[in-house]
Chain A
Amino acid sequence: MTTNSRPTNQKDRNKPAFISWWNHVNTAMSFSLRRLWFNPISTWITLAAIAIALSLPTGLHLFLKNLQTLTDDQRQIPTVSLFLHEGVTEQQAQDRADLISELDGVTKVIVQNSEVAFAHMSELMGGKETLESLGKQNIFPHVLVVTPDLSLSDERHIPIQELIKTLKSYPEVKSAQSDIEWVVKLRAIIMIATRIVWVFGSLLGLTVLLVVGNTIRLDIENRKEEIDVTRFIGGTRAYIRRPFIFGGLWYGLFGGIISLVVVHTSLLFLIPPVDKLAKLYSSHFTLSGLDFTTTFYILIISCSLGVLGAWVAVSRHLRKQEVIL
């Protein structure tokens, strides 16, 4: 009768202790799943609440991430276009480009040959003949397309303006045009929006916690008799707690999965119009979905919230019970 109830202390009975633990876990898992399955209405309401609460921050996050890719370096924007004087030769342009690419805060410099620019323009206008028939000569100068390193400009955009000033001061440069301004502004907005997503995310995470906690609390109320009987015949706290914790885990897991489905469905719904818009801007931009890591994190977070909510609810109940014993 004096044997310790903690299996870890029974060295000689280690194996049966592990087996009985495993049997406990199995029982708790299947039992909690069955309970969800046989109470479909309350289960679906809870899952829907969790899924909605998780979809909102996930969706916002995805939106921001896509917005951010608009400013990615690979997309060739933002850039500073340096239009060179007409007399500048291609060789001179190339030399200047090499010098610029050495500068701090410059990622890449491309020389856009005037011939190429002319050809491209002609094509856009409907064939070389059209332009030529209009009596146009190749009036395009050589252009240097400078891609600045925006990582320097996240906090203050002064370095970019300094850079533009420097670029403008070169004798070959006639004028400079940049699409950096809006990118810098967009970045600032994204930064604020990211914080907003965090605030929303935390609040909605708290909502998930409360929803699961309350569902489990109601479940405990309904199963008071069972909990008492289990205690009367020797169920440990861990044993009593386990099915509820698994219940929380299932709510978190399934809620998370549903929210991912919701987000991806909405995304599929958005892709065609966005592609159309992108085409109008002759951009290669397409909406991208959640990558594997993010998906994984979202599921981890939702499961943790479910478990935590259940844990709080059960512990509260067991503490209350202790007085009565």
Chain B
Amino acid sequence: MANGTADIAAPILQLSNLSMTFESAHVTVVALQDIGIRIGRGEFVTVVGPSGCGKSTLFNILAGLAEPDAGAEIRYHGETKRALELLGQVAFMPQRDLLLPWRRVVDNAILPLQVEGMPRAAALKRAEPLFGEFGLSGFERHYPQQLSGGMRQRVALMRTFLFERDLTLLDEPFGALDALTRSLMQRWLLEVWQKHQRTILFITHDVEEAIFLGDRVLVMTARPGRIKLVLEVPLARPRPSSMLTSPEFIALKRQVLAAIEEESVKSFQQTAAD
């Protein structure tokens, strides 16, 4: 792998046959269909797909918050698990930052440590050296309401990183940020990832972001969500932002867009025929 540490031969997570159907009184929605994934240790894998294709649903399952349809196989560290058994085993950052308005920045960041039963003083000591790295120095005692969108997102990321687990799930963490802040955050995230050697699964609906960040890009189709394409990103790291305009990058982008487009046309025709 480009990172030099990823090891796909001993995957940390393997999914096969994973489907998820939502049934309510009137409608049945197949959110995910036959998902198969292998994530190697230390890998940065991005998942890209149109909104509504089931990306957040996939993360909810991996965080242990929802059980997929019967027949799915989830292997975490080689052991077969039910989704519920993953509760507390995976560091999950949901799409909204969900910072608690009554807790200061520090206290929001250490929330998972306190949930684990660590006393506040010890948790603060653990968190302290990270504030600089997460660009939050001087804001420790602010309340979330006083921060910009980008800073709130960094607090949420810090909270996720302090919950040290072998797999980290990030659901569109930069989706609501302006383009400039977003590109700064992307490069910053890569630095943090390389330093902390985490395994990251990262959701986005932005094709450029998916390629720029990932060792591999999983392209999902519109509903029902399936893995349409798995694309290796052979671009060297560290990746400068000038890479975004390189011919290699553009070729990769074209490949992803073509896969998505083919699907969109299909689903568009399907809807039109209904």
Tell me, yes or no, whether A binds B: no
